[in-house]
Chains A and B, each alone.
Chain A
Amino acid sequence: MGSQLALKSRIRSTESLEKIFNAQEMIASSHIAKARDVALNAKPYTDAIFDAVQALVAHTHITHPIAVKDENNPRVAVLALTSDRGMAGPYTSSIIRETETLLARLEGEGKKPELFVYGRRGSTYYKYRNRDVVATWEGDTDQPGVEIAETISNTLMDAYMKPADQGGVSELYIVYTEFINMVVQKVRVLRMLPVEIVGNTASVPDPDQEVDTANMSPLYAFEPSLDEVLDAILPKYIQSRIHECLLTAAASETASRQNAMHTATDNARNLIDTLTRKLNASRQASITQELTEIIGSADALNTKEE
Chain B
Amino acid sequence: MAGSDKTTMQVNIVAADHPVWHGEAKSVTIPAYEGGMGILPNHEPVLTVIKQGTVTVVEPDDDRHMFEVTDGFISFDSNKLTVAVERGRDVQYSTTEQ
Contact = CB atoms under 8 A, between A and B. Distances in A.
A221 B47 contact: yes
B46 interface: yes
Interface residues of A, number: 30
Given A229-B48, A229-B73, A48 B82 contact: yes
Contact of A240 (B16, B18, B46, B71): B16
B95 interface: no
B96 to A, nearest CB: 28
A224 interface: yes
7 contacts: A42-B17, A44-B14, A45-B14, A48-B14, A48-B84, A146-B87, A229-B47
B63 interface: no
B75 to A, nearest CB: 5
A42 B73 contact: no
Interface string A51-81: 1100110000000000000000000000000
Contact of A48 (B17, B44, B46, B75): B75
B15 interface: yes
B68 interface: no
A38 interface: yes
Contacts of A240: 16
Interface string A219-243: 1111110001100110010011001
B82 A51 contact: yes
Nearest to A226: B47
Given A55-B47, A222-B47, 7 more contacts: A41-B17, A42-B18, A45-B17, A218-B78, A223-B34, A224-B48, A224-B49
